[in-house]
Chain A
Amino acid sequence: MAHKILASCIGCGACARSCPALAIKGRKNNVHLIDPDKCVDCSVCGFSCPAGSVLDPQGRPVERLATSLRETPLANKDLCTACSLCIDICRFGALRLSSPRRQGDTVAWVELVREHCVGCGLCQQSCPVGAIEMEVQS
């Protein structure tokens, strides 16, 4: 299964820039294409599309969604082991480890850098201990 871009695509490139899987290619002002082998069905391309040109795997158009209204990760400090699988999977740098609270601190956890988050949820899927919830945060 994968998302699809319709011929109404205006070639602005917003989808490709926000795709966490680097699955979208296309020249500026040309119709873009999603590689179904790479697509992870997160719908972020559709959230970002100003022309409403993205269909989900069921063939329904994905509605545009402002970043502030998207779900973003919230890490449970107590469960987080700082293993960094979530940081590693995010190509936008939307997660980072907490800074040491003092010299030689050996406790760390994951923090969100909200302005970089596209809301794909890959971090949640990659967390081996279920420490990340996706929520719309006010």
Chain B
Amino acid sequence: MRLPLYLDIDLSSGSVRPYPISREYARKYVGGKILAARILLDETRPGIEPLAPDNLLIVNTGPLTATGVPACGRFNITTKNVLTQGIGTSNCGGNFGIKLRRAGVDGLIIRGRAQQPVYIEVAGGKASIHDASHLWGLDTETAQAKLPGEYGKIVIGPAGENLVSYACVLSQERVAGRCGAGAVMGSKNLKAIIAFGVAAAPVANRDGLTKLTKKWTATVRANAMTGVALPKLGTVGFLAKGYKSGFVPVKNFSQPKFEEAKEFTGEGYARDFLTRNTGCVGCPIRCGRKQMEGQKEIKGPEYETAGLLGPNLLNASFKLVGSWNRLADLLGLDTISLGGTLSFAMELKERGLADLGVDFAHLDSISQVIEDIAFRRGPGDELAKGSAWLGEKYGGLDFAPQVKGMEMAAYDPRRSVGLGLGYATANRGGCHLNGGYMIFLEAIGPLSINPQSPKSKAALTMMMQDLMEAISASGVCLFTSMAIFPNALYNMASGSRMRRWISQVMGRSGGMVQLLNRRPRLAGINLSIIPYPKALALATGQRFNLGGFLELGERGYNLERLYNLREGLKGDELPKRMTTEPQDPQRPETIVPLEAMLGSYYRCRGWNEAGVPRAKKLRQLGIATLGTDPSVAKNKE
């Protein structure tokens, strides 16, 4: 079995050396965010500041990255989260990950702080550090254009340089948005990392994986969601479903509806704005959008951006969203945290708690405010710290749209209570994906498991979280999982009896799902509709089946939780608005019954009533020593 090659780069001393990944680590943690979480636990002392030189920036791939399987262009960035002080992970589909693997390197561990701006170059299995004074201060597009064209790149913009808490990292037009990874890069004086190589990604059984890839690609392309809806409408296609189900956030999550948004849909976008679709390298789904801004073709928005900079700010103009989205990308700002922070500041103004230069009635100033945030000018300096920081200073934490300090995505959890549980328990903060994306089973996907009922949600959320975790660590996009559901389900009319029946059965499946959660090894099989374990087995030469894959995800989820506990994060809470204030005043059930789910969720996970993994669970997952003292447990279990 080939072991992954990681390079350990110390920007303070300028040293580059290989970082050994043991056979045990490669088998147990596989890659991506799970292996990175383990490395972060091993290599950092508890209690460090995210922006201090001793924080790590781990940029890595999974065993399926660049192998040709559908959506294989993903790479991961793990670091201590600037917004939450807990685990920070961010996943991106730009071509950097593919180039990194083709350069013969699976991951980079970057520590220290350079004396002046630098960039790192990776090629031929080696890395070198170069002066980046000529790039500092440049926007992300110009900086990428000034670096050699052949290379895959990640760069930060002025927001990262100026340590905005939600600064992001860009690769091409794709974004590793969350957790402030851009600020961590900025704190290290690291403007960019570039990689070049053309070597084929290492694969243990090339013929076997090629055969699987062809079949899997055909399934993804034939699927009603990944082959039709996403390419045609993009993720903004979720808006129409969102209005129907009521999950689109309106006015800082304070209203159930925004009448002006009727045309602000994926269909409306495709009709009036879409020039063509686009995709991450290596992906046949191609859910990305393109639109015009003047004479220039620019990136169109994703659902999250459209929701949070759209109805959430009482805006229904794709033109405005497109131009703010582009500005945020150029400056290097995460649009999810940006949208949540802006709407919160607007509500603070409306309630007379603080005037940070933004209000719901004056959207024309937003472009200027976005620039002020990136350059930390005027009130922008405080807006750059996120909604939780503002709430602590000015009050209003009860309605700050964040969890653990990081802003929630564009789904109001009061219309998808499973996602509410997911947001509350997500290790990286208010994240729909780390939270398990239960809304796909409750409202967006082909089922509609009662979105207001807590029944079975604990077990289902755990399974979805673990599945997402493992898919992410493998190096492929989570969207491929939407093709698990057959077309027959997607094609059923939303009110059809069959669909209702299946949703009801799924809604009562908690016991069965929990059996699998507790004993994943019972699923010692491989199913063709869930091809990840088989693909991993073919790529790595290790044995994998569905049960082992779910257990891998669970191990990752527990590692992240252990990191959070080590860093002093306690409790899994939602803002009070989500648990006490019905989203629709006419419907008292539109709250998140978090208490009713949380205890059951902890029991499902084998955690105690405070959300701490029990020793038995950690032993089962093979990470027992981490439960006692993670900082000294390296390579022990």
Contact = CB atoms under 8 A, between A and B. Distances in A.
A84 B174 CA distance: 15
A122 interface: yes
Interface in B426-475: none
A115 B279 CA distance: 26
Interface stretch (B37-45, B194-202, B303-311, B323-331): B194-202
A59 B82 CA distance: 56
Interface of A: 20-22, 35, 37-38, 40, 81-85, 87-89, 91, 100, 103-106, 108, 122, 125-130
A37 B104 CA distance: 9
Nearest to A122: B198
Given A37-B124, A84-B281, A128-B210, A91 B286 contact: no
A30 to B, nearest CB: 21
B106 to A, nearest CB: 16
The 5 closest A-B pairs by CB, nearest first: A128-B68, A81-B284, A100-B276, A91-B150, A104-B274
Interface string B175-209: 00000000000000000000011111000000000
Contact of B150 (A22, A82, A103, A129): A22
B69 A128 contact: yes
Contacts of B275: 100, 103-104
11 contacts: A22-B123, A82-B286, A83-B70, A83-B282, A84-B279, A87-B281, A100-B275, A106-B232, A128-B68, A128-B72, A130-B210
A81 to B, nearest CB: 4
A57 B220 CA distance: 40
Interface in B198-226: 198-200, 210, 213-214, 217, 221
Nearest to B277: A106
B125 A37 contact: yes
Contacts of A100: 275-276
A109 B429 CA distance: 39
B102 interface: yes
A88 B217 contact: no
Contacts of B274: 103-104
Contacts of A84: 279, 281-282
A63 B388 CA distance: 67
Nearest to B196: A22
B3 to A, nearest CB: 17
A129 B124 contact: no
Interface string B227-238: 000011000000
B390 to A, nearest CB: 39
B2 interface: no
Nearest to A108: B276
Given A40-B199, A89-B102, A106-B232, A128 B279 contact: no
Interface string B116-155: 0000000111000000000000000000000001101000
